[in-house]
């Protein structure tokens, strides 16, 4: 059984072993694969693993030995699922590996706005504390989370993990999800109107694309904080920039961009009140090891004739 990894570098830049997957077949790992090389690299492989490399209908139809497509991630919109289904090829993802890591990262971003730790450390290194008259100083208002309201747009596994952390900080939590009458949830308009912090955890669909836009920002409190660790296109970047510049939005923190890597003309770049991190919420050592473990488990289940985590049944 030949196994080809098309773009393994992001999940495993060399600090995790491929050994358990190599034990399941003849393994060939590529750090990156250009679109024009995808089909030739798949070649006669029966199993293909991809993170961000597109697996189109054309590729599926022209890879005669292909029997299984595994995703080195949770999102699977890079694969033509219908084309795979027509050929009886299961597409399997890894649904839960980064839940705690992403929830933790949400609070890393939020706490940066609360205390501006990075900025104040930089000022100390510049001798501002050394030369300060008083025993302390701060350049920004310092914020407590106790009593604040956090609105979670989406309440899947990551949303639920984030909710637990918010409650541990003494925050009130409002949630909304695609099912309007879901227990414990409120309409989106209510969440936007009452939340001090809005955090995005919903999947990217045609319905949720630009769910944060000029109109929905207008519903929010003045001075709201917006956090996006979901997908970049959930936010209309131009509308968010306008709100950040005007002060309607106190701050935004995004770990994802509409186009990745982020292009130089992204309107959110260059703003003092917008934190941008390079899609790393998922990438803790522990999360990536769980990813590798689950990918191996998925392949074992497939080889045993009982595939799991199938997204195109």
64 and 127, same domain (yes or no): no
Examine the domain organization and report whether 131 and 207 are in the same domain: yes
pLDDT at 179: 74
Task: State yes or no: is 260 an active-site residue.
Answer: yes
Q: What pLDDT does 14 receive?
A: 95
Beta 26-29 vs 2-5: how paired, if at all? parallel
Residues 90 and 158 in one domain: no
Angstrom distances, CA of residue 305 to CA of 300, 301, 313: 9, 6, 14
| Residues 179, 65 within the same domain | no
Q: For the segment 137-185, what is each residue's pLDDT rounded down to a tens digit?
A: 999 999 999 999 999 999 999 999 999 999 999 999 999 988 766 777 9
Whether residue 311 is contained in a domain is answered as: no
For residue 73, whether the previous peptide bond is cis, meaning omega lies within 30 degrees of 0, is no
Q: Let me know whether 126 and 243 are in one domain.
A: yes
Whether this prediction's pTM lies above 0.85 is answered by: yes
Residues of the chain with pLDDT under 70: 180-181
Q: Which SS3 state, helix, strand or coil, does residue 242 take?
A: helix
In a domain, 290, yes or no: yes
Tokens for 43, please give them: 């070649």
Residue 215: active-site member: no
| Per annotation, catalytic residue among 210, 279, 297, 300 | 279
Count of the separate structural domains present in the chain: 2
266: three-class secondary structure by DSSP? coil
Q: Please check whether residue 126 lies inside any domain of the structure.
A: yes
Domain range for 184: 99-276
Residue 190 lies in a domain: yes
**Is the same domain home to 254 and 297?**
no
Domain assignment present for residue 86? The answer is yes
Same-domain check for residues 81 and 218 = no
Do residues 181 and 106 share a domain?
yes
- Give yes or no: residues 24 and 164 share one domain: no
Other CB atoms within a 10 A radius of the CB of residue 30 amount to 16
H or E element, residue 110: helix 99-115
245 is a domain residue:
yes
In a domain, 309, yes or no: no
In a domain, 110, yes or no: yes
**Which residues of 93-247 form beta strands (DSSP E)?**
149-153, 172-176, 197-200, 224-228
Catalytic annotation present for 86: no
Per-residue exposure over 204-236, b if at least 16 CB sit within 10 Å of its own CB, e if not: beeebebbbbeebbeebbeebbbbbbbbbbbbb
Whether 199 and 254 share a structural domain: yes
Please state, in angstroms and rounded to a whole number, the distance separating the CA atoms of residues 278 and 178: 28
Same structural domain, 178 and 105: yes
Instruction: Please identify which of the residues 19, 61, 86, 260 carries the catalytic annotation.
Output: 260
> Which CATH number covers residue 58?
3.40.50.720
Annotated catalytic residue within 231, 241, 288, 290? 231
pLDDT of residue 180: 64
Mark whether 113 and 85 lie in a shared domain. no
d(CA 41, CA 266): 33
């Amino acid at each position: 059984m030949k196994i080809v990894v098309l773009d393994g570098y992001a999940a495993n830049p060399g600090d995790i072993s491929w050994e358990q997957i190599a034990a399941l077949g003849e393994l060939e790992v590529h750090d990156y694969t250009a679109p024009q090389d995808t089909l030739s690299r798949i070649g006669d492989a029966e199993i293909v693993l991809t993170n961000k490399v597109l697996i189109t209908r054309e590729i599926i139809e022209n890879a005669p030995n292909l029997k299984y497509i595994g995703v080195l991630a949770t999102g699977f919109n890079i694969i033509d699922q219908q084309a795979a289904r027509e050929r009886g090829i299961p597409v399997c993802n890894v649904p839960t590996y980064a839940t705690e890591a992403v929830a933790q990262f949400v609070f890393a971003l939020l706490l940066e706005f609360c205390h501006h730790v990075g900025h104040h450390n930089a000022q100390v290194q510049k001798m501002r504390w050394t030369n300060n008259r008083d025993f302390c100083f701060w350049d920004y208002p310092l914020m407590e989370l106790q009593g604040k309201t956090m609105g979670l747009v989406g309440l899947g596994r990551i949303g639920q993990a984030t909710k637990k952390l918010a409650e541990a900080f003494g925050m009130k939590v409002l949630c909304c999800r695609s099912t309007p009458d879901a227990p414990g949830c409120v309409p989106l308009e209510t969440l936007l109107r009452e939340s001090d912090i809005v955090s995005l955890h919903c999947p990217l669909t045609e319905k949720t694309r630009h769910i944060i836009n000029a109109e929905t920002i207008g519903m929010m409190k003045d001075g709201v904080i917006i956090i996006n660790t979901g997908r970049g296109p959930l936010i209309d970047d131009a509308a968010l920039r306008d709100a950040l510049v005007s002060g309607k939005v106190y701050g935004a923190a995004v770990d994802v961009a509409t186009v990745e890597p982020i292009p130089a003309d992204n309107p959110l770049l260059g703003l003092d009140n917008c934190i941008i991190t390079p899609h790393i919420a998922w990438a803790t050592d522990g999360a990536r090891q769980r990813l590798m473990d689950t990918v191996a488990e998925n392949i074992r289940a497939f080889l045993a004739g009982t595939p799991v985590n199938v997204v195109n049944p």
